[in-house]
């Protein structure tokens, strides 16, 4: 039985990483849909700046969804690809009919805490597996999102 996958990583360790990436993928899909809803439904005096920011964020989330799914495939696993599975496994909840900018930003900050926690877990697992591709991807996400948390927190203060 072959003990390594197509990119030379241990099969069992890669499968463990892929499972965590699929969990992250589910959470990103809900995060993405929430961001779309915030962008569509936002109202109030900060409409223009938040409408643009939420669009920027959902475009970034969409790219990350694709990168995560492709990384799962690279690890010789299958990415989750049904909304039922996303909803069933996501820690991020669906946010509906949010029109208030402060509520939307608070929701985004809470979602980022969840995503960062999952990304740090994946980073540790991938590091143990010598999976530098996943380590690099998670490191980039963490750096970007920590800065976003800082900026959104400053916006809220």
Closest CA to 5 of 71, 94, 102: 71
In the chain, where are the structural domains located?
11-156
Q: What is the share, in percent, of the chain residues with pLDDT greater than 70?
A: 99
Over residues 65-107, the pLDDT tens digits come to: 999 999 999 999 999 999 999 999 999 999 999 999 999 999 9
Q: How far apart are the first and last CA of the chain?
A: 57
11-156: what CATH class?
mainly alpha
The closest of 78, 67, 71, 73 to 132, measured between CA atoms, is 71
């Amino acid at each position: 039985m072959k003990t390594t996958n197509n990119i030379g990583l241990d099969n069992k360790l890669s499968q463990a990483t892929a499972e965590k990436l699929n969990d992250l993928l589910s959470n990103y899909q809900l995060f993405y849909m929430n961001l779309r809803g915030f962008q569509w439904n936002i109202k109030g005096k900060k409409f223009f700046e938040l409408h643009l920011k939420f669009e920027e964020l959902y475009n970034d989330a969409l790219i990350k969804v694709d990168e995560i799914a492709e990384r799962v495939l690279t690890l010789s696993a299958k990415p989750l690809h049904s909304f039922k599975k996303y909803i069933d496994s996501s820690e991020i909840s669906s946010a509906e009919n949010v029109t208030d900018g402060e509520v939307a930003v608070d929701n985004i900050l809470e979602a980022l805490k969840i995503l960062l926690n999952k990304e740090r877990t994946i980073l540790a697992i991938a590091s143990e597996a010598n999976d530098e591709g996943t380590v690099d991807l998670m490191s980039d996400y963490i750096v970007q999102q920590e800065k976003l948390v800082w900026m959104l927190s400053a916006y809220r203060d």
